[in-house]
């Protein structure tokens, strides 16, 4: 029997160039994946930050708008109270100067007409704006203020009416312009419910 030499395959030896090539490819791949992942994370973070900034800016703008509306409401009602107070001045002089009673009553009536005009123009307008812009608690507080002013206004009017012996013009509450309520309703707003 012939002796056969067993031939074994020689082990493949990696050359140093092949090892460094593989390392370079792996290194590049890892860096590319890392850069891509970092870029993706940065993009997502940037998007989230931008969304947060837009949201914060919207909230700031809403707060500023509401603050301006609330301030205008307070200032208009302060002016309304001042006008009502000036109506009471002539009434307080009637007892002190009875000989000029008719003159003081007429001055009070004239001032009442100014109050009425201011209420119809400025107060009604700012109330409409407030009810559209206000949060529910502020709208409820504004309604309370409105009711108290109505009581004071009615008491002043009734006093002048009693002294004059005739009714005064209470003035119609100026209704919204035609189509205003319909437009609010079409946009999904309930005009009787503050926002």
Mention every residue, 6+ apart, whose C-beta is less than 8 A from residue 112. 87, 156, 157, 160, 168
- Residue pair 150/81 in contact (Cβ under 8 Å)? The answer is no
pLDDT, tens digit (0-9, with 9 covering 90-100), for 109-167 = 999 889 888 988 888 888 888 888 888 888 888 888 888 888 888 888 888 888 888 88
The residue behind tokens 């002048």 is: 160
Alpha-carbon gap, residue 73 to 70, rounded angstroms: 5
pLDDT of amino acid 78: 92
Alpha-carbon gap, residue 70 to 87, rounded angstroms: 26
pLDDT of amino acid 66: 87
Task: Give me the phi and psi of 95, to 5 degrees please.
Answer: -70, -35
pLDDT of amino acid 194: 40
pLDDT of amino acid 34: 67
Cα dist from 158 to 7, 170, 171, whole Å? 126, 10, 14
Q: Is 24 exposed, middle or buried (0-12, 13-18, 19+ CB in 10 A)?
A: exposed
pLDDT, tens digit (0-9, with 9 covering 90-100), for 40-87 = 667 767 777 767 777 788 788 888 888 898 999 999 999 999 998 888
């Amino acid at each position: 029997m012939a002796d056969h030499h067993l031939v074994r395959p020689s082990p493949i030896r990696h050359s140093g160039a092949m090892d460094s090539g593989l390392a370079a490819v792996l290194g590049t791949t890892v860096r590319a994946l890392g850069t891509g992942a970092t870029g993706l994370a940065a993009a997502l973070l940037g998007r989230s930050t931008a969304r947060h900034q837009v949201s914060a800016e919207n909230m700031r703008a809403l707060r500023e708008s509401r603050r301006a509306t609330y301030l205008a409401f307070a200032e208009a009602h302060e002016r309304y109270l001042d006008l009502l107070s000036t109506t009471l001045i002539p009434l307080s002089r009637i007892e002190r100067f009875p000989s000029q009673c008719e003159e003081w009553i007429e001055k009070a009536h004239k001032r009442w007409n100014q109050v009425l005009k201011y209420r119809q123009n400025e107060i009604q307008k700012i109330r409409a704006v407030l009810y559209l812009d206000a949060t529910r608690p502020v709208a409820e507080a504004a309604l309370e203020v409105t009711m108290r002013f109505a009581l004071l206004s009615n008491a002043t009017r009734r006093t002048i009416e009693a002294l004059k012996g005739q009714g005064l013009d209470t003035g119609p509450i100026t209704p919204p312009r035609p189509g205003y309520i319909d437009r609010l309703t079409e946009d999904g707003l309930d005009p009787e419910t503050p926002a």
